[in-house]
Amino acid sequence: MSARQYAALPDPFVMHRGGVLRGARIAYETWGALAPAKDNAILIFTGLSPPAHAAGSPADPSPGWWEAMIGPGLAIDTDRWFVIVVNSLGSCFGSTGPASIDPATGERYRLNFPELSIEDIARSGFEVLQSLGIRQADTILGPSLGGMVVLAFAAAHPGATRRLVSISGTAGATPFAIALRSLQREAILRDPGWQDGNYAPDAPPRTGLRLARKLGTITYRSADEWAQRFGRDRMAGARPPNSFSPEFEIESYLEAQAGKFVERFDANCYLYLSRAMDRFDLAPLTQGCVERALVIGVESDILFPIEGQRAIQATLERAGATTALIAMPSIEGHDAFLVDIPRFSAAIGDFLRTG
Amino acid sequence: MSARQYAALPDPFVMHRGGVLRGARIAYETWGALAPAKDNAILIFTGLSPPAHAAGSPADPSPGWWEAMIGPGLAIDTDRWFVIVVNSLGSCFGSTGPASIDPATGERYRLNFPELSIEDIARSGFEVLQSLGIRQADTILGPSLGGMVVLAFAAAHPGATRRLVSISGTAGATPFAIALRSLQREAILRDPGWQDGNYAPDAPPRTGLRLARKLGTITYRSADEWAQRFGRDRMAGARPPNSFSPEFEIESYLEAQAGKFVERFDANCYLYLSRAMDRFDLAPLTQGCVERALVIGVESDILFPIEGQRAIQATLERAGATTALIAMPSIEGHDAFLVDIPRFSAAIGDFLRTG
C-alpha cells in the first residue's frame, strides 16, 4: 500500500547551478484536509535520508519517521492542518534524482544528473504547493537538511509561507560538518563497487554506504547518550580471537543501523544530497519574506551546533521575521527531533497553535 | 641518521591476554644524561601513531613530534632529565609488532601476532627501564594512548615510577570513542587491499588507511578550531563538474594528513593498537603505587572527554597519589598537546620542577 502522490515539476526544470531536468516529479504524502481557503497547509522537508512517509495514513498505515509528531491531536495536528511531506528532489523515494531514468537516454541519470543545490529542493517543494493551488503555506518546516531547505525557500519565495520552522539546520555548514560528509562520500567513491557511479541497482557499493551510514550515525547522536545507553557493555556470544569482529554493544548498534540503510538508499543520490549540504550558503532574505519563525537547535548537536542556530535567528530577525530560538537540552544530539518527542512536540505544537 | 636504540624484552615475553613473543625488542630514543644515581629518568609513551623520535638529537637532528617540549631549557628539560621515549610494542617503528618477522616462521606476524593489550605496552616500557638499570623512573608521561599506558604501568608496576603524567588518556574508553575506532578499523578490514592482513608491504590497504586517518584527524581536532582556521574557504583551482573531488580547504587539509600517514603506518599494527585502546579497563591500583600525579585533559576533546580525566584523578587519589587535574581550555581538541605548546609547556614544566 502506498500513500504516495506525485507533482510534476515545470518542464524543463532549470537547476540552480545550471542544467535542466525534463519530466521531473516530486513524490509527497499528505495528512488532514486542505481548507476551502487553502490557508492551512504545512509543508515539511525531510532530512537527508527519509522518504515522504512521515506518518501512517489510511492509504499506508505503516509507521512513518515522525509518527509521534504528525496526526490527530499531535503536535502537528492533522485535525487542523493539511500536512504535506515531500521527498527531496535528488532523493530516491519517488522524486526525480540520480537513480531515476533520464528520459533523454532511457538510462538512469547517475552522474549525468545536474548538480543539485538546496535551492532546487526548496523550489521543488514550492512547485508542489503550486500544483495544489496553495498560494501561501501557513508554515514550512524541516529538520537537518530540511532545516536548510526551509531557509532557501524563504530566500527564493518570499511570501510563499507565512511561518517557518528550521530544526537543527544551518545557513552554511561548518568545516567540521563538511569534513565528516566529505569522508562519507569518499567511503562511497573509493568503494570499487561504486564503479564511477555505474553500479547495478542490485549491486550497490555496500561497503561505502555502510561506512558512510555508520559515520552518520556516530555524528547524529551524542557521546553522553551512548555512555548512558551502551557504556562499555559487551555483545553476547564469543568473539573469535584476533578477528577484529564487533565486540561491544555500540558496534552492534552501528551495524544494525548501517545494515538497514545499505539496502534502502541509493549511493549516487547520497553523494548529490551530501554535497548539496556542503555547498549551501543562504542567499540574502527579502524584508518580510516570512512573518514568524521558530529556530530549534540541540545543545548536544556536534554537526549543526547551537551557534549556527543563533546565526539563523539573527538572519531571520534582520529580515523582519518575529523569531524565537529554542536551544534544546536534549542528550540525543542532532537526531533529537526523532527521539526527544516530548520536547519537540511541546515546542512545535506551541508555535503552530499561537500567532 | 638514526638515534634509535633497542632493548631486548625478556624471552619469552608473555602477553597480558595470552600468547608469547620470542626475541621481541623495543625501539627507543634518549635525550640528556642519566645521573649516576639513575634517579632522573622520564619515560614517555607515545600516542597511537608516532615513533620514538620525539625530538632532534646529535644522532638524528630531524625534528621530532614533540620538538618544542623536549630539549635543553624546555618544559621537559634535558639539562636536568634523562628522557626516554619508547615506540610502543605492537607499533611499526622498530619495536616488535604485527609487521615484524616472527622468528618461528621467518614471515611477518600479521594476524598471528598475539592479542595486544595496553598492559603489554606498559610492561615493555618497564623492561626498557630495567635494561638501563633504572629501578625507579622519576616520572612516566604519556598523551592519548600513552595517557592510558601510564595508568596501566602504575597498576602493574607499583613503585617503578615516583610520578606520573597522564595527558588526554582514559581508564576506559567511551562508547563514542569505541564507535569511531571501530569504524576506522572497518575501513581497513573492508578494503580489498587488506587481504585478510596478508597485503604486501609495498601494497598496503591505502584506501582503508586513508579513511581511517581522515576520521582520526577529524576527531583529534575540534569544530571550533576548524571554523576559525578554515571556515568555508574554497581550495584554489577549478573543480571538475560532478567529480565530487575535494573543493573546500578542510578537505585539502584532510587529504594532506591522510597522504602522509598511508605511506608511514602499517595497517595491521593500526588494527592491533586501535583494538587495544577499546579493550582497556584499568586494573585496581595498589596504595602508594605513585607519589604524585598530574592529569591533563582538554575541554574541547570529544574523544577523551574531561569527565574521563576527573575519573582518572579520583582513581589516583584513592590510591594515595597527590594528584592535580588541569582542564585545558585549548581549542585544538585531543591533539592540543601537539599544538598548544605554551599551555602544555607551562603545566608539564611546573609539575616536573616542583615536588
Are B281 and A232 a contacting pair at CB < 8 A? Answer: yes
Cα B346–Cα B173–Cα B111 angle in degrees, nearest 5? 110
Alpha-carbon distance A205 to nearest alpha carbon in chain B (angstroms): 12
Q: Where does residue B224 rank: exposed (0-12), middle (13-18), buried (19+ CB within 10 A)?
A: middle
Look up residue A125 and give its amino acid.
Answer: G
Domains A5-174+280-353 and A176-275 share a fold: no
Alpha-carbon distance B165 to nearest alpha carbon in chain A (angstroms): 25
- Please say if A245 is a catalytic residue: no
Backbone angles phi, psi at B165, to 5 degrees: -125, 115
Band the pLDDT of A355: cuts 50, 70, 90: confident
Quote the mean pLDDT of chain A. Answer: 96
- The CATH classification number of B5-172+281-353 equals 3.40.50.1820
Q: Kindly tell me if the per-residue pLDDT of B125 is higher than 70.
A: yes
Quote the mean pLDDT of chain B. Answer: 96
Q: Where does residue A238 rank: exposed (0-12), middle (13-18), buried (19+ CB within 10 A)?
A: exposed
Would you tell me which CATH number, out of the four given (3.20.20.10, 3.40.30.10, 1.10.1740.110, 3.30.980.10), belongs to the domain B176-275? 1.10.1740.110
Give me the residue spans of the domains in chain B.
Answer: 5-172+281-353, 176-275
- The question of ipTM being above 0.90 is answered as yes
- Please say if B91 is a catalytic residue: no
Dihedral-angle region of residue B293 (phi above 0 means left; psi in -120 to 50 means alpha; beta otherwise) = beta
Residue among B174, B219, B230, B252 with most chain A CBs within 10 A, to mutate? B174
Cis peptide before B284 (omega within 30 of 0): no
Q: Among candidates B219, B4, B1, which has minimal Cα distance to B128?
A: B4
pLDDT in tens, B130-162: 999 999 999 999 999 999 999 999 999 999 999
Q: Kindly tell me if the per-residue pLDDT of B320 is higher than 80.
A: yes
pLDDT in tens, A175-195: 999 999 999 999 999 999 999
Band the pLDDT of B276: cuts 50, 70, 90: very high
pLDDT in tens, B241-265: 667 989 999 999 999 999 999 999 9
Q: How many CA atoms lie within 13 A of B128 on its CB side?
A: 31
Q: Which three cell numbers stand for residue B116?
A: 595486544
Average pLDDT over residues B316-337: 98
Band the pLDDT of A1: cuts 50, 70, 90: confident
Residue A242 with chain B: CB contacts under 8 Å: 111, 113, 115
pLDDT at B243: 78
Average pLDDT over residues A6-28: 98
Q: Which of B301, B330, B335, B340 is catalytic?
A: B301
Average pLDDT over residues B90-94: 98
> A66-75, A231-240, B204-213 — which is least confidently predicted?
A231-240
- What angle, rounded to 10 degrees, do the helices at A145-156 and A306-318 form? 10
User: Please, which residues have CB within 8 angstroms of residue A41's CB and are 6 or more apart in sequence?
Assistant: A34, A81, A82, A83, A84, A129, A132, A134, A137, A138
pLDDT at A9: 98
Average pLDDT over residues A307-315: 97
Backbone angles phi, psi at B39, to 5 degrees: -115, 15
- The CATH classification number of A5-174+280-353 equals 3.40.50.1820
pLDDT at B1: 75
Q: Kindly tell me if the per-residue pLDDT of B240 is higher than 70.
A: no
Q: Kindly tell me if the per-residue pLDDT of A225 is higher than 90.
A: yes
Q: Which of A144, A168, A274, A330 is catalytic?
A: A144
Q: How distant is the alpha carbon of residue B320 from its chain centre?
A: 26
- In chain A, which residue's Cα lies nearest the Cα of B209? A187
How large a percentage of chain A has pLDDT more than 70?
99
Q: Among candidates A111, A273, A266, which has minimal Cα distance to A198?
A: A111
Band the pLDDT of A288: cuts 50, 70, 90: very high
Please state, in angstroms and rounded to a whole number, the distance separating the CA atoms of residues B184 and A257: 17
Q: Which residue has better confidence, B95 or B243? A: B95
Q: Which three cell numbers stand for residue B44?
A: 614517555
pLDDT in tens, A117-136: 999 999 999 999 999 999 99
Q: Kindly tell me if the per-residue pLDDT of A243 is higher than 90.
A: no
pLDDT in tens, B31-59: 999 999 999 999 999 999 999 999 999 99
Helix or strand (DSSP H, E) at A77: strand A76-77
